[in-house]
Structure 1
Amino acid sequence: MKIKLQNKTQVEKGVIKSYWFENENIGLANTLFHRITLPLKEFDSGLDYEEQPVQTEIVLDWYNLGLSEPSELDGLNLSHSNYSDAEGSVYIGCSHNWCDVKKLNIVKNIDGNFDVSGSILIEFENEGVGENEEFTFQTSCEYIET
């Protein structure tokens, strides 16, 4: 079964957050990470075991970018090939489905927010939800420092 996510929903305005995290048990010093949250417009997944409409978001996390200020996001491509320690998922079909970020371009716009465009392979097959799908999008994101 194919969800056909591209035809059913679109990304609404998202958020880019920075946050500090440390874990002494694994030797991780206090490090600044970035998380991109991309809410999806409600949609019908077509899965009879899931409450409809589905309300979910794509979460791309653990980006260790080494930035000192938000403006340095301008021009970055946060693909997983460039940032292999980053992770992503979307909760559909009662499962967290891994997202392989093929392209995630960030450009600062004139209002101080960021235009974000991307292409993500959603791996539905790993959780038995459906066939893997490519999902492309364009949206804007607000930057929030936490």
Structure 2
Amino acid sequence: MAYDPQNVFAKIIRGELPCFKLYEDESTLSFMDIMPQADGHALVIPKEQAETLFDLSESGAEACIRTVRKVAKAVQKAMGSEGVLVMQVNGAAAGQTVPHFHFHIIPSSIKALMRPHASQLEDSEKLQEFVRRIVAALEDERVS
């Protein structure tokens, strides 16, 4: 299947759609999931065009993992979570809802998967508070 440059994440990367940004570097972008499975649910995406893990370059995969580690640590600290679920699925049959490679970072346990994904839009003020907390945790990590 060919990559669709009109998918929602591609539009976010190009600045055509807004997001609740947590972190960005030359290769990746992290932002809040607006239909979260738990408070603090974040996403990490590569800036390259890749629908699944199998389409992603090795350098893109490495960049994503670096960002996932950084953001997951900040999410866990900011949300006061004992555990963090990191999830990545490939293809609609596996549950992928946006055809652009991405990781989910969910500060919870596997039980968070019991809540349907993409079922309820979160309040934007609540998301903005999570952004503030997670970005502060990211900044703390840079200082220490």
- Give your verdict on TM over 0.5: no
Larger Rg computed on CA atoms: 1
TM-score w.r.t. the length of structure 1 is 0.32
Structure number with higher helix proportion: 2
TM-score w.r.t. the length of structure 2 is 0.32
Structure number with higher strand proportion: 1
